[in-house]
């Protein structure tokens, strides 16, 4: 499951007239519903599953949740405290992506993600941003909607309505295919 990938697939399918504005497709994590409005795509994410409640390791408090893939989330007061050595150790010990999250202003999160498979920091991870939002929301640090900024600094919106999580943002076409 890839949150950003779902938005890209939906945008492509809509622009190639393979699907309409509202579509559903199957991923390894389950059914995904998307809505396309020009260059803005909103994905209904798979239901999250808490894999491990709060625990401490390497001097940080962690939470492990599956948002399509497993993610470890830790809240930090400064996003520059991102530590690749700790990320690498946590990634292998828990077989999960690793997210450092900082709350800047009310309902604004900054997220840095270390992804398994890449084995390094990536510019943006949709399922990681969703996991980070859910942790901040569970701790009442953000409401049911927040702006989330990954390393790429693109502005994305994550919201929760009832028990459903939505991931929304602009999709840019880089090259014709």
Residues annotated as catalytic (active site), given as ranges: 2, 125
Calculate the CA 149 to chain-centre distance: 10
Return the SS3 of 108: strand
Bridge partners (DSSP) of residue 25 are: 32
Quote the CA–CA distance of 120 and 174 in Å, as a whole number: 23
> 79 pairs with which residues across the strands?
none
Q: Report the half-sphere exposure of 73 (CA within 13 A, side-chain side).
A: 34
CA–CA separation, 164 and 44 (whole Å):
7
């Amino acid at each position: 499951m890839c949150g950003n990938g779902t938005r890209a697939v939906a945008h492509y399918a809509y622009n190639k007239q393979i699907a309409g504005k509202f579509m559903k497709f199957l991923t390894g994590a389950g059914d995904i519903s998307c809505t396309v409005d020009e260059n803005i795509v909103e994905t209904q994410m798979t239901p999250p599953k808490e894999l491990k409640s709060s625990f401490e390791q390497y001097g940080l408090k962690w939470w492990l949740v599956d948002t399509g893939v497993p993610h470890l989330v830790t809240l930090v007061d400064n996003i520059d405290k991102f530590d690749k050595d700790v990320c690498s150790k946590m990634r292998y010990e828990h077989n999960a992506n690793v997210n450092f999250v900082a709350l800047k202003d009310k309902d604004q999160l900054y997220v840095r993600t270390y992804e398994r498979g890449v084995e390094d920091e990536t510019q943006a991870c949709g399922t990681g941003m969703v996991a980070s939002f859910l942790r901040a929301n569970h701790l009442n640090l953000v409401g049911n909607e927040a702006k989330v900024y990954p390393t790429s600094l693109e502005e994305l919106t994550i919201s929760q309505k009832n028990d459903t999580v939505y991931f929304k943002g602009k999709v840019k076409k880089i090259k014709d295919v």
